[in-house]
């Protein structure tokens, strides 16, 4: 099943600005949707259900105004529901999303099954994050519309599979929507994902370094200065495989090459100790955790801090060039 025609016609580029914890907010989502790509955000970025309701109202009103001003429909916004059993807000967040009649939802960190029936009954397109073929098979059996394949290059909690192998393995049993997540550094990568058999691509790291993102200025500047070798795969901070920025770990007073193999680091004991010792002192109140940052393999493609509109325009030009070259080779 390809992308619904009503969705595809509204996209300037087959791209989702990935939902990023503590980074994706209303300004980034609205700018993405106005620029012609799908804007997504984790509902967990809102401190409360009431704030989620305000965010969705603000974003929906803004996108309606944009459509009225231009005479063209904007790309859809797409909340991300973290469906892990530890997230006690799932029922309330789900009810809020349904009340706002969103067109698309991404589920992650768990089975989509608990939220799938009400979303589908409401006519919502449901995409599920998966990190293995087994996860993909379970999501398909549950009845999702699309799969987001978390490959080894994704920032934050990541997958382990090579994207070339992952897409082809999934396409053996699934003809629905496929989204590639990980390593999307430019328009050429998006065109390559399409050639492999994907319908959409996820781009996260480059959107962190945009003016509309909620990321701290220091985070954005570190992305500009970093390269691929500065991305470290570790289980030290979450207990799960996570791609993190080495410079941010070092700035917190930790040795990136001598982290625990598995298990969450005690923030107060292990990170704030360096502050008490006078190294990069920022106080011993636990807030330093927020200054250890993630990035995907596409970090080497981050060269500046543009607006979302500028980033999308560049990516469209790269994508069009890649498509033209592909046609010329035939």
Contact 119, 142 (CB under 8 A): no
User: Does 24 map to a domain?
Assistant: yes
Same domain, 10 and 86: yes
Any domain includes 299: no
How far is it between the farthest Cα atoms of the chain?
Answer: 63
**pLDDT on residue 3:** 82
Residues 6+ away with beta carbon under 8 Å from 309: 31, 34, 35
Instruction: State the sign of the Cα–Cα–Cα–Cα dihedral 108, 26, 182, 287.
Output: negative
- Yes or no: say if 282 and 291 are a contact pair by the CB < 8 Å rule: yes
Closest CA to 115 of 103, 123, 126, 101: 126
Nearest to 294 by CA among 240, 239, 229, 249: 249
pLDDT exceeding 90 applies to what percent of the chain? 75
Q: In terms of Cα–Cα distance, which of 38, 43, 40 is closest to 54? A: 43
Looking at the fold, whether 202 and 236 belong to one and the same domain comes out as: no
Claim to verify: residue 199 and residue 284 sit in the same structural domain: no
Of 173, 192, 213, the residue that ends a domain is 213
- Same domain for 226 and 99: no
Contact 124, 107 (CB under 8 A): no
Q: Is residue 46 part of a domain?
A: yes
Q: Tell me: do 145 and 132 sit in the same domain.
A: yes
CATH number of the domain that residue 78 is part of: 3.20.20.70
Domain count, the chain: 2
Do 171 and 102 share a domain, yes or no?
A: yes
For residue range 125-144, list pLDDT tens digits in order: 999 999 999 999 999 999 99
**Could you tell me the residue range of the domain that residue 156 belongs to?**
5-213
Question: Using the 8-state DSSP alphabet, how is residue 233 labeled?
Answer: E
Same-domain check for residues 167 and 95: yes
Same domain, 188 and 251: no
Flag whether 315 is in a domain.
Answer: no
* Same domain for 227 and 93: no
My answer on whether 192 and 149 are in the same domain is yes
Strands 242-245 and 231-234: antiparallel
Is 147 contained in some domain?
Answer: yes
Query: Structure pTM?
Result: 0.89
pLDDT value of position 326: 75
Asked whether residue 85 is assigned to any structural domain, the reply reads yes
Residue pLDDT, tens place only, 87-121: 889 999 999 999 999 999 999 988 899 999 999 99
Going by the DSSP 8-state scheme, the letter that residue 83 receives in this structure is -
Q: Is pLDDT above 90 for 26?
A: yes
240 inside domain: yes
- Say yes or no: 162 and 224 in one domain: no
The answer to whether residue 110 sits within a structural domain is yes
Question: What share of residues in the chain are helix, strand, coil (percent, to 5)?
Answer: 45, 15, 40
Q: What is the mean pLDDT of residues 7-31?
A: 95
Residues 6+ apart with CB under 8 A from 312: 12, 13, 15, 32, 35, 36, 37
179, burial (CB in 10 Å: exposed 0-12, middle 13-18, buried 19+): buried
The total number of residues written for the chain in this structure: 330
- Pairing assessment for the beta strands 156-157 and 242-245 based on DSSP bridges: antiparallel
Asked if 17 and 309 touch (Cβ cutoff 8 Å), the reply is: no
Q: Select from 186, 213, 240 the last residue of a domain.
A: 213
Same domain, 139 and 277: no
Which of 181, 213, 245 represents a domain boundary (last residue)?
213
pLDDT of 137-193, one tens digit each? 999 999 999 999 999 999 888 889 999 999 999 999 999 999 999 999 999 999 999
């Amino acid at each position: 099943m390809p992308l619904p025609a009503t969705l595809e016609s509204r996209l300037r580029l087959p791209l989702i600005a990935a939902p990023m914890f503590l980074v994706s907010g209303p300004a980034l989502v609205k700018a993405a949707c106005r620029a012609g790509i799908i804007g997504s955000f984790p509902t967990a970025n809102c401190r409360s259900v009431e704030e989620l309701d305000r965010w969705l109202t603000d974003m929906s009103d803004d996108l309606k105004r944009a459509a009225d001003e231009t005479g063209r429909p904007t790309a859809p916004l797409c909340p991300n529901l973290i469906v892990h059993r530890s997230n006690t807000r799932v029922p309330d967040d789900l009810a809020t999303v349904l009340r706002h009649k969103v067109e698309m939802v991404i589920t992650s960190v768990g089975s989509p099954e608990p939220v799938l029936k009400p979303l589908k009954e409401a006519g919502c397109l449901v995409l599920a994050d998966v990190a293995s073929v087994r996860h993909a098979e379970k999501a398909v059996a549950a009845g999702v519309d699309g799969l987001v394949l978390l490959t080894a290059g994704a920032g934050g909690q990541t997958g382990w599979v090579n994207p070339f192998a992952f897409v082809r393995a999934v396409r053996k049993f699934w003809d629905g929507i496929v989204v590639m997540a990980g390593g999307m550094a430019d328009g050429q990568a998006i065109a390559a994902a399409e050639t492999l058999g994907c319908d959409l691509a996820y781009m996260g790291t480059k959107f962190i370094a945009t003016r509309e993102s909620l990321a701290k200025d220091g985070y954005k500047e570190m992305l500009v200065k970093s390269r691929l070798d500065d991305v470290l795969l570790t289980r030290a901070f979450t207990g799960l495989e996570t791609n993190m920025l080495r410079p941010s770990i070092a700035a917190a007073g930790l040795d990136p090459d001598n982290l625990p193999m598995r298990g969450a680091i005690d923030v107060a004991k292990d990170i704030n100790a360096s502050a008490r010792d006078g190294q990069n002192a920022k106080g011993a109140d636990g807030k330093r955790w927020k200054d250890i940052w993630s990035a995907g393999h596409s970090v080497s493609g981050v060269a500046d801090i543009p607006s979302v509109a500028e980033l999308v325009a560049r990516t469209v030009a790269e994508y069009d060039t890649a498509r033209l070259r592909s046609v010329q080779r035939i």
